[in-house]
Amino acid sequence: MMAATRVGFIGLGFMGEGMATNLLVKGNALTAMANRRREAVDRLVALGANEVGTAEEMARECDVIFLCVTGSPEVEQLIEGTGGILAGAHPGLVVIDTSTAEPTSTVRLAARLEAAGMHFVDAPLGGTPAGAAAGTLQALVGADPAVFERVKPLIACWAATIVHVGPVGAGHKMKLINNFLSLGYAALYSEALALGEKVGLSAETFHSVIGQGRMRCGFYDTFMTYVLTRDENAHRFTIDNAAKDLRYLAGMADAAGIVNALGATVKNEFVAMQAAGEGGKFVPMLSDFVKTKNGV
């Protein structure tokens, strides 16, 4: 375990607040910074966390900084922008990006930090806000092996499954493929449900078959919880974020020279909902959008 590690956390959204809380209650000295949710910082401070006003100040005070923000533009601004991490950084600082980001940006940032004697780790997440609060997320980690061993105990504060998938950038590459699969399921479920209802098969009938068969999975369960009970908090991942991740996937596929025909189709489903002004809704609500456009 890292001795006397001072941990910073930026990005206290649906996932980040639970992760930061686990780091704090499991014995780490935590410093937080308000990004969008002032109330989340207040709750952490009430539990004993410190607060800073800028990423530069956090970099001066911390040994490890976790980032859990929307994507690469936000990560780049926090590291390279005015008042950013690089402005206050010191040799040995480790920055761990748990966002779903663009791998080319990740590799570039890693090289810049390494040149200044620091380390960059990509550790994107798998799971839900409930898993973040429970400390049972999955982490897909891209890092130098020695750095991975150094930060693994900290990641274990919020992740029950930790997979070292390769060097820096590999975590974000694997996360994009993972999200392609999960969001592909969302598009497939949505179209299948709409088709079923169009031909006289209710969502309940659909679930009575699929929910007892080999195609059931954790993603299916949270998706169908919304479909069947209308619980809007069953799967709190926005259409905007899904569309962003699928755009990153398309860029990765283009750079690799791979035909990503299914990825393009899935992306277009989410982008269509986003373009209709519904980007703030959550992924299972794609089922409503697909039904509506099909007159169901």
CA distance 208 to 193: 13
CA distance 166 to 57: 31
Q: For residue 127, which of 82, 198, 175 has the smallest C-alpha distance?
A: 175
Q: CA-CA-CA-CA torsion for 145, 148, 149, 152, nearest 10 degrees? A: -160
Examine the residue annotation and report whether 175 is marked as an active-site residue of this protein.
yes
Q: For residue 47, which of 29, 69, 63, 67 has the smallest C-alpha distance?
A: 29
Catalytic residue of the set 175, 267, 281, 291 = 175
**Crossing angle of helices 203-210/218-229, nearest 10°?**
160
Report the Cα 49 to chain-centroid distance in Å: 23
At residue 178, the 3 state secondary structure works out as helix
Q: How are the residues of the chain apportioned to helix, strand and coil, as percentages rounded to the nearest 5? A: 55, 15, 30
Enter the tokens of residue 117. Answer: 């004697």
Enter the tokens of residue 62. Answer: 């911390």
Cβ–Cβ < 8 Å for 78, 85: yes
Cβ–Cβ < 8 Å for 172, 126: no
Report, as residue numbers or ranges, the catalytic residues. 175
